[in-house]
Amino acid sequence: MKITFLGTGTSQGVPVISCPCRVCASTNKKDNRLRSSIMIEHEGKVFVVDSGPDFRQQMLRENVQRLDGLIFTHSHKDHTAGMDDIRAFNYFMKKPMEVYATDFTQKKLREEFPYIFEKNDYPGIPELNFHSINGDTNFSVEGLEIIPINVLHYKMPVLGFRFGDFTYITDANLVPDEEKKKIYGTKYLVLNALRNEKHISHFTMKEAIDLAKEFKAETTYLTHISHQLGLHDEVSEQLPKGIELSYDGLKVSL
């Protein structure tokens, strides 16, 4: 199994429009962050977790030729806005896209993309099949077993996912104790780390590091990073052993 970090930035991405800060002005490619998403390649199948506003750009950058499933963590715009671009995969693969989401996220997607679900189909609109998932029941996508993890994004329920020895959690500021049991033993862990200052709905870098130390994964990657966290190279020098900043295009093989 191979994991590709399609995007590692927060909702505005990095650089932020019109921002003159050092991070947004950086020429280091690792300081350029599209909206957070990952791609999983497993036994010839390809899956993506979240299709944010940069989905098209991410698919083109990675030269993705097929997509067998789209899995959603939650319904916020920076994780769903690019779903319209599954149309290309519909056309070339000659079939609907299999979409995995909670009932609440499905409801929000129907509101966000009403034209997809209208009775009188317009030629060329996205085609998809919804599959309902929840945080309490494991599910399978094309032979890949997935463990959902319930986390909180302030008061909003969000799903993290464990794929074998790889666990992905974004947009969270709380992992309930009962859900931590699903994470222990993972070799690769991904946690959101927005910035150093306290935030209402995201882990700070310190909070993410403390949680990573609790789980003792071989490697923890921090994601959903804002320009407020600092320059990639400078922040990386401060991190404990086994904890790294992720960056767009990073690939992890299991």
Computed from CA positions of residues 90, 92, 93, 95, in that sequence, does the dihedral angle turn out positive or negative? positive
- The two three-digit tokens of residue 86, written as one number: 């599954």
Q: What is the DSSP string of 142-204?
A: TTEEEEEEEEEETTEEEEEEEETTEEE--S-SB--HHHHTTTTT-SEEEEE---SS--SSS--
Q: Give domain status of residue 123, yes or no.
A: yes
- What is the Cα–Cα distance from 81 to 184, expressed in whole angstroms? 32
Given this model, what pLDDT does residue 81 score? Answer: 98
Q: Give domain status of residue 177, yes or no.
A: yes
pLDDT single digits (tens) 72-115: 999 999 999 999 999 999 999 999 999 999 999 999 999 999 99
Helix (H) or strand (E) holding 243: strand 243-245
For 164-184, what is the mean pLDDT? 97
For 137-156, what is the mean pLDDT? 96
| 3-state secondary structure (DSSP) of residue 39 | strand
pLDDT single digits (tens) 211-254: 999 999 999 999 999 999 999 999 999 999 999 999 999 999 99
**Which of 22, 12, 1, 29 has its CA nearest to residue 249?**
29
- What is the Cα–Cα distance from 183 to 180, expressed in whole angstroms? 5
Q: Give domain status of residue 254, yes or no.
A: no
Q: Give domain status of residue 190, yes or no.
A: yes
Residue 120 has pLDDT above 80, yes or no: no
Given this model, what pLDDT does residue 123 score? Answer: 83
Q: Give domain status of residue 40, yes or no.
A: yes
Q: Which domain holds residue 132?
A: 2-247
Q: Give domain status of residue 252, yes or no.
A: no
Residue 210 has pLDDT above 90, yes or no: yes
Q: How many domains is the chain partitioned into structurally?
A: 1
Residue 118 has pLDDT above 90, yes or no: no
Q: Give domain status of residue 253, yes or no.
A: no
Q: Give domain status of residue 57, yes or no.
A: yes
Given this model, what pLDDT does residue 189 score? Answer: 98
> Can you give the CATH number for the domain in which 165 is found?
3.60.15.10
Given this model, what pLDDT does residue 233 score? Answer: 98
Q: Which neighbouring-strand residues pair with 139?
A: 146
- The two three-digit tokens of residue 75, written as one number: 């319904």
Q: Are 203 and 193 in contact (CB under 8 A)?
A: yes
- What is the Cα–Cα distance from 122 to 116, expressed in whole angstroms? 8
- What is the Cα–Cα distance from 135 to 137, expressed in whole angstroms? 6
Question: pTM of the predicted model, to two decimals?
Answer: 0.97
